[in-house]
Amino acid sequence: MESWKKKREWDFIVNRTYVPFSLSSSCFNTCKKYLDKVLSVPIDDIYASYKDDNYFGKGSREAFAEVQLKRLREEGPAFLWHMGDICEKEGNKLLAYTNTLYASDVSQKSHTHIAGVLMEISDRQRAFSVFLLYVLSLDAFLDSELSRIIKKYVTDSRDILEWKKVLSEPIKLNEGQFEQLSLLKILSSIGDKKDITGENKLLLKGIQDHLKRFSWLSLRWLIGKPPSSKDIMERMEHLFDIGEIPEKIKMLEHKPAEVEKLAEEFIKKFSVEETDRKMIYMVKEYVYLRTYRTDVINQALFHTIPFLEEAAKRLSISYAEILYLSPEEISESLRVGKLLSKIRIDERKKSWALFRDVGGLLILQGKDADEFAQIQDFINEDLKDIKEISGQVGFAGKVQGIVKVVLTPHDIDKVKRGDILVTVMTFPSYIAAMEKASAFITDEGGILCHAAIVAREMKKPCVISTKIATKVLKDGDSVEVDANNGIVKVLKRTE
């Protein structure tokens, strides 16, 4: 019997939209080959994905957490700091490697050279992907530890929530915040909105420099497209209308110092014990690492684009089509000089699934993908009749508006000023949409998540961790977001 036809025990882990190529490079977070080089975890070495739902072998997340917490109990906070340091060190090494490749000319390289580079990039990304789960698996522990510490010194429930928001803020800026700061600084030199034009050569130079550093942020898992100068100018016009440019620049520039200052105020005010103080700063570091680790993978994937474009050309398929292949399939096709006969891209466009075990990685297509999902019981519940959704408060407030569901960076442009942004989880690539939206609703997340942090910065109502918002709400639905109580009500369904 083929391995994929064997029934396995799974835990649903996350809903994310991938293409086969990008998922093939990051689904090794439970792979023993790479785990054992960092920190061995006793888990079932399997991974699956079907229709954006992703699964680990049963008990994997808990096993990751338990192994790390055992080491924490034995070695103290130094262990988790060490793991964080390794994550950043390995991430920076990966980007140093892919940055060099991105700048190279691939047009004159041989089929074999391009195949080898794509496999080398994938192998390095797969080795780094273990940090996706090391960090993620500690979310519940870090959240409960922060709550425990605050409740030890604070009794009022409202004060507890406010302090939790303050103490969960990371000290370091992430790449999305650096991108916002860069754009605001360019905008600060504009005296009049009419100067935001392609005729302004100084402005164009600033925009080109901005795009050179930050274009990758507009793609997530290779989904989306790099912004144009026109796209950036449209964002600038919107930000100019909102105003307060100097204040926003000051806020972002001073944010690291301000975040640390507020933490120290809490520590001093309540005479916080040293062990609790260390844990507060540990939480801040791991909240930062949540975004850092996916930023690394998305930037590294962006750096593969020239190689993917060249490979697509040589295999006589489009760039969009080559994303339906795994690195192994691309490399093998290049080595024989044509697309492998077993690959049916048209079928994959209709339905595909990924299955990985110790024997390797397999992209299932068409009927095989659907059969795999049936065998593994990957069935989605029908939630269309639900009229009210509850979640956790990310930032308080109450607004009404029209829903725009954003599942990938391709959906960003449909968000207009005042719309309600509904998504599985926000990412730095969604900032342009978040600037326009009047409120955010997410399926996932906690008080430490990206959506909650950005909502606090932008002071926009935010309801997180609804679990089902993207499955219940559709584009055009009219809703009320009561982020004072964590409730979303459907006022009118779109026809």
| Chain segment 316-361, per-residue pLDDT in tens | 999 999 999 999 999 999 999 999 999 999 999 999 999 999 889 9
CA distance 282 to 264: 14
CA distance 10 to 46: 9
pLDDT of residue 179: 96
pLDDT of residue 260: 97
Long-range contacts from 336-340, C-beta under 8 angstroms, 24+ separation: 337/111, 339/315
Give the three-state DSSP class for 244.
coil
In the chain, which residues have pLDDT < 70?
1, 380-382, 447
Sequential DSSP letters for 409-447: GGGGGG--TT-EEEESS--GGGHHHHHH-SEEEESS--T
- pLDDT tens sequence across 115-136: 999 999 999 999 999 999 888 8
Closest CA to 131 of 68, 194, 212, 74: 68
pLDDT of residue 453: 87
Q: Where in the chain is the domain with CATH 3.50.30.10?
A: 388-492
- What homologous superfamily is domain 388-492 in, according to CATH? Phosphohistidine domain (3.50.30.10)
CA distance 366 to 187: 48
pLDDT of residue 277: 96
Instruction: Confirm if 152 and 146 have CB atoms less than 8 A apart.
Output: no
CA distance 4 to 27: 16
Q: Which residues pair with 388 in a beta bridge?
A: 489
Say which DSSP state 325 is in: S
Closest CA to 136 of 230, 41, 217: 41
- Give CA separation, 95 vs 230, 274, 298, 383, in Å: 28, 36, 10, 41
pLDDT of residue 1: 59
Say which DSSP state 3 is in: G
pLDDT of residue 382: 67
Q: Specify whether the backbone of 494 is left (phi greater than 0), alpha (psi in -120 to 50) or beta.
A: beta
